Structure 1
Amino acid sequence: MTVLVLALYAEGHTDESFLPVVIQRTAEEILARHGRTVVDVLEPINLNHGIDRQFETREERMIEAARRASGYHALIVHADADYPTQVRALNERYLPGEERVRELREIGESLCGNLIPIIPIQMTEAWMLADPIALCNVIGVQALPQALGIPVHPHQVESDTNPKRTLHEVLERALTQRPRRRRRVNLSSIYEPLARQIDLARLAGVPAYARFLSDLTTTFRVLGLAS
Structure 2
Amino acid sequence: MRLQGKTALVTGGAQGFGLGIAQAFLREGAKVAVLDINGEKAEQAAEALGEGAIAATCDVGKAASVDAAVAQVLAAFGRLDIGVNNAGISHRNQPMLDVSEEEFDRVFAVNVKSIYLMAKATVPHFRAHGGGVILNIGSTAGVRPRPGLAWYNGSKGAVNLLSKSMAVELAPDRIRVNAIAPVAGETPLLATFMGEDTPEKRAQFRASIPWGRLSTPQDMGHAAVFLCSDEAEMVTGTVLTVDGGRCI
Q: Which protein has the bigger strand share?
A: 2
Please identify the structure whose Cα radius of gyration is greater: 1
Q: Please report the TM-score for the alignment, with normalisation by the length of structure 2.
A: 0.38
Q: Which protein has the bigger helix share?
A: 1
Q: Please report the TM-score for the alignment, with normalisation by the length of structure 1.
A: 0.40
